[in-house]
Amino acid sequence: MRSVITPGSHTFVTPATPADMPALAGWHVRPAQLADLPGLVALAEAADPGMTNLPADRGALAARIERSLDAFARPLAAPEDELYLLVLDDGTGRAVGTACLFSRIGQTWPFYSYKRTQIVHHSPTLARHDSHELLQITNDFGGASEVGGLFLHPAVRSSGAGRLLARSRYLFIAMHRARFAATTIAELRGWVSPDGGTPFWDAVGRQFFGMSLWEADRYCALHGNQLIADLMPRYPVYVALLPETARAAIGRVHASSQPALRLLEHEGLRLTGHVDIFDAGPSVACPTDQLRTLVDGRTARVARAAAPDAQLPHLIACGELGTFRCWLDRVGPAEPGDDRLRLSGAADCGEAVFHVPF
């Protein structure tokens, strides 16, 4: 229902520099394995309660890994309802971050969000027009793909690690395009006050659920969204009737999601006018084929020679499904006019790789 990623308008993301390279030497993104369960539990315990796609529950995390392994192993011609769970490996086998892709949301149960709309009331007698904002519950994103669940251990939030992990998902989509929908979306974590207050939830959701935002989030993360279908109001919410603190939270991004906001914008996702029904965080979307990585990325064969230091860093990905790997490397043509790539040795000579500027 909600993923930890974020929006904006036209923020520029500074490209990686050679200084980023040594810190990420040997680091790579790969599919999560059952052996990663202790590491994922540790990551979940380091996250705050708003991380709905990374619940601090060993059984729930094990079930997510199993579901992901099944998705990687399943032959498919089109997206169904798969979860692909990726981890950032620091080169020692330790998972220091995680991210998700959902191939087609809103299938097992509806994918709810509020759509921000306007309604005009007109009185000929008073010669008056009044426009009011409404929040209308919808399933507009049903059938789309979703990127979400982005979380890095606090100790490694530097040197391009977040960009490597976040953008690896788009390389996976590019290399397995038939497994994803025509539209890709992300739901973004909404604003919470410095003291942990949840003004939008307290004004709306709590009135129908009778529990805190964190309790509702956790319940839906573990048991699905049927609770929403059962208890959420069916009629539009007039924003003018909400407290000022709740109105101010609508569409506002959580401070911790600002870096992810810039990554999403850089990839081409834009605001849609929808907000999360729990915390009113905004949603972003983009036609999948217009994602920047899919537009700018290229496939090439690897030459057996190290690239010169002068070349700019690229994201490199190879492997299919369960053997997928993505890492940061410098690239360069093997020789003038040759379309092969020289890499530092993480891929085999002659191997096909997908690459995009970092």
Nearest to 220 by CA among 356, 55, 340: 55
Of 260, 81, 297, which is closest to residue 186 (Cα–Cα)?
260
Rounded to an integer, what distance in angstroms lies between the CA atom of residue 212 and that of residue 210? 7
Residue of 242, 245, 253 lying closest to 199 (CA atoms) = 245
Annotated active-site residue in 254, 266, 314, 355 = 254
* Cβ–Cβ under 8 Å, residues 286 and 183: yes
Give the pair of three-digit tokens for residue 301.
Answer: 């064969």
Q: Is 108 exposed, middle or buried (0-12, 13-18, 19+ CB in 10 A)?
A: exposed
Catalytic annotation present for 28: no
List 303's β-bridge partners, or say none: 342
Instruction: Kindly provide the b/e burial profile for residues 259-272, where b requires at least 16 CB atoms within 10 angstroms of the residue's own CB.
Output: bbbbbbbbbbbebb
Residue 301 burial (10 A CB sphere; 0-12, 13-18, 19+): middle
Report, as residue numbers or ranges, the catalytic residues: 254
